[in-house]
Chain A
Amino acid sequence: GENVEQHPSTLSVQEGDSAVIKCTYSDSASNYFPWYKQELGKGPQLIIDIRSNVGEKKDQRIAVTLNKTAKHFSLHITETQPEDSAVYFCAASPSSARQLTFGSGTQLTVLP
């Protein structure tokens, strides 16, 4: 089955700096790669996703890149703000209609 590895497990950045979280996956059949933000006591919130026919996708301060050959994808947050502090999860699936396999999560702390 699919295996998703996520790094780093914790990340601290100064407000205004950029943050990058990286994930690798094992199943070449995976074609859907969402990213979630989870705040304490809340469910995961979908912040951006990318499909395998796209190499990069951007939404304001958030971008995701995908390298299918190397089987890795990354989340980039620019101009970080304290409210970006949360746990971020990457995931992979053969499609958006199939079950997700999650990475282990990254605790991002943005220091004011």
Chain B
Amino acid sequence: SAVISQKPSRDICQRGTSLTIQCQVDSQVTMMFWYRQQPGQSLTLIATANQGSEATYESGFVIDKFPISRPNLTFSTLTVSNMSPEDSSIYLCSASDDRFGYTFGSGTRLTVV
């Protein structure tokens, strides 16, 4: 299976600031996604990171708040902009490919104070 490195693993941020989360996959993958997981809850898809084009966002998530980049087939970033305490959550990068299925990074635990 692919190995996904995600950083930072955790951060405490001031409200009104932005944080960029990086996701690196050890092999080229077809698809990359970003999910959010509230404590004790299931995973919710934020967006599909499209290589070389704008990300595809799910209902309730917008580009101005969660800009995403995917410059190549192994790397993506998610920025959480103008943060508020409601953005405190775990953010997870995932990658999928027919060779190894659908795997996740270890997540970024974000606390906004």
- Please indicate which of the listed interface residues B6, B42, B92 has the most CB atoms of chain A within 10 Å of its own CB: B42
- Please indicate which of the listed interface residues A44, A46, A105 has the most CB atoms of chain B within 10 Å of its own CB: A44
Enumerate chain A residues within 8 angstroms of B106, measured Cβ to Cβ. Answer: 42-43
Enumerate chain B residues within 8 angstroms of A102, measured Cβ to Cβ. Answer: 42-44
A96 interfacial by beta-carbon distance below 8 Å: yes
Are B107 and A96 interface neighbours, CB within 8 A? Answer: no
B103 interfacial by beta-carbon distance below 8 Å: yes
**Interface of A: prevailing SS:** loop
Q: A44-B92, A46-B1 are in contact. Are A99 and B48 (CB under 8 A)?
A: yes
Residue from A36, A91, A97, A103 in contact with B98 in the complex, judged by beta carbons closer than 8 Å: A97
Residue from A96, A99, A103, A105 in contact with B45 in the complex, judged by beta carbons closer than 8 Å: A99
Q: How far is the CB of A42 from chain B (nearest CB, A)?
A: 6
Q: Give Cα A92 to B34, complex, Å.
A: 16
A100 interfacial by beta-carbon distance below 8 Å: yes
A78 interfacial by beta-carbon distance below 8 Å: no
- Interface residues in chain B, defined as those with a beta carbon under 8 Å from any beta carbon in chain A: 1, 4, 6, 30-31, 33, 41-45, 48, 58, 92, 94, 96-98, 101-107, 109
Having A43-B107, A44-B92, one finds 6 other A-B pairs with CB under 8 Å, namely: A46-B103, A89-B43, A99-B58, A100-B33, A100-B94, A102-B43
Q: Give Cα A104 to B40, complex, Å.
A: 10
Are A99 and B42 interface neighbours, CB within 8 A? Answer: no
Closest to B4 in A: A43
Closest to A48 in B: B101
Q: How far is the CB of B45 from chain A (nearest CB, A)?
A: 5
Residue from A41, A42, A49, A105 in contact with B102 in the complex, judged by beta carbons closer than 8 Å: A49
Q: Which of A62-107 contact B (CB under 8 A)?
A: 89, 91, 93, 96-100, 102-105
Q: A97-B96, A99-B48, A105-B42 are in contact. Are A46 and B31 (CB under 8 A)?
A: no
- Please indicate which of the listed interface residues A36, A45, A97 has the most CB atoms of chain B within 10 Å of its own CB: A97
Q: How far is the CB of B100 from chain A (nearest CB, A)?
A: 8
